[in-house]
Amino acid sequence: MIAEVKDGKVRLIGEVVKDGEYEVRFKKIDDTRTIQQNKSLHVLFKQISDECLDKGIDMRELVRDEVPIQCTPENIKWLWKLLQNALFKTKSTTELKKSGEIDIVYDNFNKIISERTNGEVCLPEFPSWDIKEEI
């Protein structure tokens, strides 16, 4: 039997095979991004900002603005969140589902960064397991 919760109401889905008393327990299934995924995101933001700084690319090239803005991990995260919000209507990385959503944002983010830097900035694989010591 499956329990579905919507608007604070519980709806049981399925059939009980035998009459009698049953004990029903509810457990929220946590499908938000993991702590490891969050740490990997922050390492990714720093790697992108470092590469942009090394190549003289500032945020104007990424966000198409005329005001010079230095690439920092915080600004890269801000850009990520703009895309994430456009795709999934979420404001925080804590709201991303660990399966699928982070990958979709990453793939789109990679495409945008690559296009707007003419291929000069390449995103590392996500999550980047070779940088565990940074996480």
In this prediction, residues 67-77 reach a mean pLDDT of: 84
Tokens of 59: 């945020």
Q: Is the dihedral of CA 60, 113, 83, 128 positive or negative?
A: negative
- The predicted pLDDT at position 59 comes to 80
- The predicted pLDDT at position 54 comes to 92
pLDDT tens by residue, 19-44 = 777 777 777 767 778 888 888 989 98
Q: Is the dihedral of CA 36, 98, 5, 88 positive or negative?
A: positive
- The predicted pLDDT at position 134 comes to 54
- The angle formed by the CA atoms of residues 112, 118 and 119, to the nearest 5 degrees, is 80
pLDDT interval class at 133 (50, 70, 90): low
Please give the residue that has the higher pLDDT: either 88 or 12.
88
Q: What is the DSSP letter of 32?
A: B
What share of the chain in percent tops pLDDT 90? Answer: 17
Is residue 18 situated within a structural domain? no
User: What total of structural domains would you count in the chain?
Assistant: 1
In this prediction, residues 58-78 reach a mean pLDDT of: 81
pLDDT tens by residue, 48-64 = 999 989 998 888 788 77
Q: What is the mean pLDDT of the chain?
A: 81
In this prediction, residues 124-133 reach a mean pLDDT of: 61
Q: Which domain holds residue 48?
A: 35-134
Instruction: Give the residue among 62, 43, 64, 40 at the shortest CA–CA distance from 121.
Output: 62
Is residue 99 situated within a structural domain? yes
